[in-house]
Structure 1
């Protein structure tokens, strides 16, 4: 059997189950469930079907990307909030006739926040998959750090948008009050 070949593939007529065996002094290893090790034959870890697929073409890649965006938009409240605020900031910057570079900077910083939200969702999903229903301090740290990255990017985005949008907005308000 090839190393990359799944145990339950059609080429394998005798699928085996594996169990973790440890003698206490060495790291555990996986051996066939019969418990007997053959010293001349290497013990291969069980192969499982991959949860991912390589996209066959560009259209399929976009389909997978859209599925991730759609999932995040449907399930993550903060992602929807960031989309709304980003659209509002870009719309306001266009309404205020900001320079193209300023609109681009606002768009890029808003995009960065959305990217961080997507990565946060991915990290949370992988951590949840790994620890399942059990609490683990390292899982908490991973999730908190990912959320912290979103917070920092959101604060930076608010700072950039404020510096670029507020002066012309206050000028417009001031001029409309005077006239």
Structure 2
């Protein structure tokens, strides 16, 4: 591999981050549920600082936040893909969208339960 190949690889890598950032920003601007999850993430981070959660709790909280936002991005991608394939009401299109939304919902509920396990003892014990 000569130096031009290395430069090309770095350029491709940089472009992939640019595309990813564009996708995140577009979703953040246009999707209400992503905005809600991002606001909740900010509130949880603030609470984490206020109640001084430990390093392990921070790791769990950040994994949950990253997972939630990632799932919301995937849900948006699935919705856009289904909309691109068909604009008609189709049972399989509905099933795909509902399953993706269900995945987000499951993770959100579990994240809330874990959040309560981390934060409630800080407020009441």
Shorter-chain TM range is: 0.7 to 0.9
* Mapped contact 1:79–1:117 kept (Cα < 8 A): yes
Per-residue deviation at 1:170? 2.5
CA shift for structure 1 position 56: 4.6
* Structure (1 or 2) with the greater helix fraction: 2
Deviation string, structure 1 residues 48-91 (Cα, Å, up to 9, x no partner): xxxxxxx9522111110001001110110010100110111122
Count the aligned residue pairs: 116
For the pair shown, the structure with the greater C-alpha radius of gyration is: 1
1:41 counterpart residue number: none
**Which stretches of structure 1, 4 residues or longer, exceed 6 Å deviation after superposition?**
none
Equivalence for 1:96: 51
Q: Which has the higher contact order (CA 8 A, sep 6+)?
A: 2
CA distance in 2, matches of 1:77, 1:169: 30
| Residue in 2 that maps onto 1:127 | 82
Give the gaps of 5 or more residues in structure 1: 1-54, 172-179
d(CA) in 1 for partners of 2:20 and 2:114? 28
What's the counterpart of residue 59 of structure 1?
14
- Residue from 43, 58, 61 that aligns with 1:106: 61
Tell me how far apart the structure 2 counterparts of residues 110 and 162 of structure 1 sit (CA, whole Å).
14
Tell me which protein shows more strand as a share of its residues.
Answer: 1
SS at match of 2:26: helix
Partner of 1:61, secondary structure, is helix
**What are structure 2's unaligned runs of at least 5 residues?**
1-9
**Given the alignment, which residue of 138, 141, 147 partners 2:95?**
141
Secondary structure at the counterpart of residue 89 of structure 2: coil
When normalised by structure 2's length, the TM-score is 0.88
